[in-house]
Amino acid sequence: MAEHWIENHKRDSWRRQAKASGYRARSAFKLKQIQDRFGLIRQGDTVLDVGCHPGGWAQVAVELVGAEGHVVGVDLEPCQAVEGAVLLTGDITEPVTQERILAELGGARLNVIVSDISPDITGKWDMDQSVAMTLVADVFDFSLPLLRKGGAFTTKLFQGVGVEQLIDAVKPHFSTVRRFSPDASRNSSSEVYLICRNHTPWKGPNRSVRLRYDEAMDELVGGHELEEDVAIQSSTFSVRRKKTSSE
């Protein structure tokens, strides 16, 4: 009970601070704390903000990139405008949304990708975790080819099954990959941020992150064995047509 009270109190305190500072969401402090620690975003950068609604991270990103920078955000939910950012509405996994992001970038490469994306929670933890992890893998697949050499990528994850497998799949694309829990999210949930720095496009495998992640998960849960079993069983199965009276 006491722990629950402390958690709520901390959350309210970040919410009050966000309001007092003019940020739309307490999540703004998470990006600020990531930035204080790792300095991912610089003046003049081009930044993609994935899952940007209601716009807290976009506000912080605009401050950091300054007048010469460029911030493009995307979310399923329409966002109120943030001065200095272009915020698109759409599903980042859909080709039509991806085309709009590419059009907005007009051929410019990204310096930084920040993703706070989280799908709707159903309460079925295994399923929620699996959907959240594959969504993150899909975000990597779309946006990694747009990231400059030396660029950075941070994304929210929920601690649980599949985190190690996702980290293994993205590690070859960066010099360093580590987990970080900003104070603003501590105690509030199992969320953690993956901080990927110094993109090394020449080192990463050409195969998709999602495919390599799915393969690692199949191995973890014995998916290959299951598929082989199914194939063997189906080879002994045959359908006999019943004779009709006219034959």
Ligand X SMILES: C[S@@+](CC[C@H](N)C(=O)[O-])C[C@H]1O[C@@H](n2cnc3c(N)ncnc32)[C@H](O)[C@@H]1O
Among 40, 41, 47, 52, which residue sits at the site for ligand X (rule: CB under 6 A)? 52
User: From the CB of 139, what's the least distance to ligand X, in Å?
Assistant: 8
Stretch that binds ligand X, among 54-62, 123-131, 145-153, 160-168 (CB under 6 A): 54-62
Nearer to ligand X, 88 or 218 (CB): 88
User: From the CB of 74, what's the least distance to ligand X, in Å?
Assistant: 5
Among 34, 41, 46, 56, which residue sits at the site for ligand X (rule: CB under 6 A)? 56
Among 62, 65, 74, 209, which residue sits at the site for ligand X (rule: CB under 6 A)? 74
Fill in the per-residue mask, 97 to 136: x = in contact with ligand X (CB under 6 A), - = not in contact.
-------------------xxxx-----------------
Rule CB under 6 A: is residue 54 a binding residue for ligand X? yes
Nearer to ligand X, 56 or 182 (CB): 56
Residue 156 annotated as catalytic:
yes
User: From the CB of 95, what's the least distance to ligand X, in Å?
Assistant: 13
Nearer to ligand X, 146 or 204 (CB): 146
Which one is catalytic: 10, 19, 30, 156? 156
Q: What is the per-residue DSSP string for the chain?
A: -HHHHHHHHHHHHHHHHHHHHT-SSTHHHHHHHHHHHH----TT-EEEEES-TT-HHHHHHHHHH-TT-EEEEEESS-----TTEEEEES-TTSHHHHHHHHHHHTTPPEEEEEE---PPP-S-HHHHHHHHHHHHHHHHHHHGGGEEEEEEEEEEEESSTTHHHHHHHHGGGEEEEEEE--GGGTTT-SEEEEEEEEE-TTTS-SS-HHHHHHHHHHHHHTHHHHHHHHHHHHHT---PPPPPTT-
Neighbours of 101 (CB within 10 A): 21
Rule CB under 6 A: is residue 168 a binding residue for ligand X? no
User: From the CB of 177, what's the least distance to ligand X, in Å?
Assistant: 21
Distance (Å, whole) CA 192 – CA 216: 21
Among 18, 40, 48, 92, which residue sits at the site for ligand X (rule: CB under 6 A)? 92
Interface residues toward ligand X, by CB under 6 A: 24-25, 27-28, 51-57, 74-77, 91-93, 116-119
Residues with catalytic function:
156
